[in-house]
Structure 1
């Protein structure tokens, strides 16, 4: 069953009396919110809309007027309005045409149960929508064709399409999404996904209450009746469906589709309770409506077979023969439609869609293949780079180990200190004993002062005062009773390095020796060792160690342990 969604018009009497003074938007809103069956009001609004558009020579709005007018006309007149629409839009640059015309014709034929013509127009609408790249129209065509699939029993395929457009298409508006969910719930019932169907129906009931959308509420209530019928909760189904009957048959507030299916579900529910007379009453009402409207749908077979069996049991051959004749006529129409849709849908829709899907998949696979080779090439390059880095690291690691081993060996052999004490009476000469440095020193610092500062530095080194935290050039100069300039020049000249390097080298040389000889000291955590050596943090210590020795601290410690255990 396919449900239609409309909204009740809410306008004041003053506006209704002067429709042509209102905007196109106001007229459209009132028209599309009108209830099904309220044809007089709808036609009046549509006529005023078209009159206003023609008086203003507004081609776009004239087209909209033809669209609005065709809804409440019989098939021949409605087709004339759509022909007028086609004529006035034949040179339109909008990407909605001509697809819109074919989709509207398809809907018109669908409402009039000419499913063959409906399918033909949907296929054309889809073709032109794809040519113009109009994704909304493509969606409408797919959805309409999905309803035809539902008609021939392909409920799984119907549910798949409706689910996609209800949840994954951000270009569908709220009204369209509500309609999709209503029909999706119906498809779920057909494929026995009852929990999913129930959740959607409850969502529809609550949403319609919140928005005060009475028509939508009764549509969902009718579908809830079908849910209970399918679940064999016949009395629950009847309770809700009787409310729907009262609403849909009052003041033309329901479409013929709603009216037919409400009676159908009531008849089947009473049949489930074995209340045959009540069931027959509803089924006879349906037959009477079919005779008036010629509205034919697949479930009518159930209606007529039930009536035939009922009158056969009661020995009423005249009525039995009548309903046999009715059944044969209806069945012939259904069979013709079913055979046409069953044959043409796969040929004209499923196959082209599959071919397009195949092409899309092929293109996607080609892209993936290209991407695969790109990724593979990148992985290969990365792997080669990794191997290169790995072997460089291994080579570096080997060098690091050799340096560490040499340092440990040197400590074990000499228990070295940074600067040797000179023999008694021997003068200390600068490391860089160049002519320029001597001339520079002699000009700035006298030999007596230089010797005094150097002796103070010997004390500074021998007593491990360089381990104190926060030592600066200024603080050390003050301590040894000289100035920063003299101290800096003596260290640069006699030690061959600046103050910062001098201090770092003393600390690291101390660390090299003590770590190699003091098991307890090297058992401490690195941050503690760094603090003991006068560094502010672990990182400063490890960087200074690597710079001074040429090997990382971690490898030096590891080699100490390795050599100690051998």
Structure 2
């Protein structure tokens, strides 16, 4: 259907046609010059508003009522909102002052069009009817039937389709015979507009009988050589055929025709009506995905303008149902929100037709669904957030595990090359001098003879050795130092460190010195404290054992710990990990794989 605002523009532009053509008698005032400035397309709105106010002010001073009428009419074309409504009232007021039926009727028409753009269809229809009562006495059939078309279009908006149908039949009957160009208005357009509007009205009311003839009449009129310039209207007739096919439930035919019309339009309009009926046809034909693609045009229009024609509301109900079936809660929420927004817009801006609007979902039901979805989406967001956190932790754990595995393998390779492949197994362990049987019998000799030694100190309980109270370096007799070193050397070679009961005190007694001197000598010559010294001896022995005795690799960690002189498996594992940066269990597993 051709938009009502198309005819609004044509009528408003023609309101001042006659009066704006004449020149005034005032030397310093040129209405047409000022009008050309106001109608400049690229003029800023603030500057245009200023020129309009100056024009009205100057015309009031001149006291020319016809020019003032033209000025108000011009102002109404280039303003919006309350300003436009005020200028509409001014047009009617000055028209009544002028007093002729033609001028008052012209003012009512202008007022009706302004009210129509503000969705006040009842007020618009009232203004049109008052104008019609004044004009019907005259003989200007063009103006009367032009107005009759606007009355029919407004009645269609108000749901008065039968009355609109009657009015359109009158206009077609007139314009079929009279479609000349009069005062700059091409009435061939009104002939075609009336045909298309009647076809659409018949389709809405289920009276399809005359439509075939009306469609052919329109096509034949356009095919006439004299009307070749009207070929751009042919897609509108095709669209009307498609709309009729939809109402006749011939959805495949509707889809074919509406796609054809949309592909052949050659104008600036977005043709929301075609996309609506195309989408509805796809929907009813079971092609919901394609329907959603068509409804997307209406969705974009709503997003852009914040409102849309009430007849398109059902498209948004379908979009809600589509995403309800898809279980897409975010989209469901979006379209419930849009339906609620449209409800408010229609209630406010379409006051007269709002009570008659058909809706599948009541406002209370939509609000309940919105609340349920809002709660569900919050829960889903919390769940998703928890999932993201958990996934992140898992990824970090996986990354850590991979990194740890890489580092352990790298460290094992380093240890393998150092302790297994090379001949030397570490400090103070000389494996070539003595052949030790793999048996605890070799280590039965106890070197702790001090029976008063009753408090056994395990290696993990040892603290860092004390220094002299004065903080000065202990002075040790060189002979005594050499004797202690000889004792330590024999201690290492005879592997007496494998006795887990060895303590700093018992070792000092064995070496013939005290704990302070022994600690000092170990620190000086072994470059470590007593605890580290003992741990290194035992761990080096473990490595030597694993290298030289394959059967030792099948022993448990507890057994290996005992064989190496550790009192517990925990102490062994802890010290092994601290020294070699891998656990003994892992090292042994890799060693068994390697060899």
Give the TM-score normalised by the residue count of structure 2. 0.43
Bigger fraction of residues in helix: 1
Give the greater-gyration-radius structure (CA). Answer: 2
